[in-house]
Amino acid sequence: MNDYEWFKGEVYKLSGIDLSCYKEKQMKRRIEALIRKYGMEPYESYLQAIKAKNDMYNEFINYLTINVSEFYRNPEQWEVLKNEILPMILNVNKKPRIWSAACSTGDEPYTLAMILNNFIPLNEIRIIATDIDREILNKAQTGIYSAKSLAGLPKNYLNEYFTSIGDTYQIKESVKKCVDFKHHNLLKDPYPTDLDLIVCRNVLIYFTEEAKTNIYYKFNASLKPHGVLFVGSTEQIIMSSKFNLKSLKTFFYVKENQNK
C-alpha cells in the first residue's frame, strides 16, 4: 500500500470522510501542499499532528472540503429557478420540501429563502441545509457576510433581508428561521426524503464518477415524483435518463415518472 492509500484509510477512521470518493490527483495535490506549509513530509507526522491538535484537524477538514460560496452565484440560473421552476413546483405543493446539500457558509439556502419569499411568507418556508464541515455550518448559522460574498445579490434583497454592521452584513432572524442547518456527509449518511427540490451545486465536481453515480441514484430516490434537482454550472449530468432524471432546463432535472 502506498502512503496516500494508508493516509486515506486513517483519515476515514478519524473523520468518516472517504477520500477515495474525491478525484485523486486534485485532492492529493491539495493535501500535500497543506502538509508542506508545515514543513512536514507527507503523511505520517502530519497525521499525528491532526490527531493531536484540534485546530490543525479543523484546518485540514476545512481545507479539503473547499468552502467557496456566494449569494446568488450564477444569477441567470437563480432567475430560471424563480421564473420557471418554482412556479411549477408551487403549483403542485404550496409548502415545498427543499434541501440545499453541501450548503457551505449558508449563502445558497439563504438565497433560496429570499427567492421563495417572492411567493410565500417567510414563516412558511422550510429549507434543510447540510454540509460535511461543522465549522462552516456554525458560520452559516451566525449569518454574517462580507460585501464580497453579497456582491451578486440584487440590491432589493440586500436592503430587505440584511442589517449592516460596520463593513459586514447580518442576515435577518426571519430568514435564518427558514433554514435548518445540519451536519451531513453526502457519501455516507441517509438522505432526506419526499423532496420537491434538491439544490446541490459545486460539490459533485470534486467526486469520482463512481461516487457521483451513487449520489444521483440517491437524489432520485429522495425526490417526490416531479421533484427537481438543481446542479452547478459545470455539473451537467451525462445520460441523466440512466438515473431517471430528465433535463428540464440547463442545470435543472426533473424526476421521471418510472411507470410511464
Ligand X SMILES: C[S@@+](CC[C@H](N)C(=O)[O-])C[C@H]1O[C@@H](n2cnc3c(N)ncnc32)[C@H](O)[C@@H]1O
Is cis: bond before 57, omega within 30 of 0? no
We find the least distance from the C-beta atom of residue 226 to ligand X, in angstroms, to be 23
Residue 19, interface with ligand X (CB under 6 A)? Answer: no
We find the least distance from the C-beta atom of residue 28 to ligand X, in angstroms, to be 16
We find the least distance from the C-beta atom of residue 144 to ligand X, in angstroms, to be 17
**Cell numbers 467526486 label which residue?**
207
We find the least distance from the C-beta atom of residue 58 to ligand X, in angstroms, to be 12
The C-alpha atoms of residue 145 and residue 75 are separated, in whole angstroms, by 18
Q: What would the grid cell of residue 97 be?
A: 420540501
Q: Which among 195, 197, 192 has a CA at the least distance from the CA of 228?
A: 197
The answer for residues whose C-beta is within 8 angstroms of residue 220's C-beta and 6 or more apart is 243, 244, 245, 255
* Residues in region 190-209 near ligand X by CB under 6 A: 201-203
Residue 232, interface with ligand X (CB under 6 A)? Answer: yes
* Residues in region 166-195 near ligand X by CB under 6 A: 184-187
Residue 231, interface with ligand X (CB under 6 A)? Answer: no
Task: Select from 47, 69, 125, 153 the one that contacts ligand X (CB under 6 A).
Answer: 69
- String marking each residue 97-136 x if it binds ligand X according to CB under 6 A: -----xxx--xx----------------------xxx--x
Task: Select from 31, 47, 65, 161 the one that contacts ligand X (CB under 6 A).
Answer: 65
We find the least distance from the C-beta atom of residue 131 to ligand X, in angstroms, to be 5
We find the least distance from the C-beta atom of residue 91 to ligand X, in angstroms, to be 26
Per DSSP, the three-state class of 216 is: helix
Q: Which residues of 56-79 are buried (b: 16+ CB within 10 A; e: fewer)?
A: eeebbbeebbbbebbbbbeeebbe
DSSP H helices in 94-192: 107-116, 134-142, 147-150, 155-161, 173-176
- In the complex with ligand X, which residue's Cβ is closer, 173 or 189? 189
Are 152 and 70 within 8 A, CB to CB?
yes
- In the complex with ligand X, which residue's Cβ is closer, 78 or 161? 78
**Residues lying near ligand X in the complex (CB under 6 A):** 65-69, 73, 102-104, 107-108, 131-133, 136, 184-187, 201-203, 232
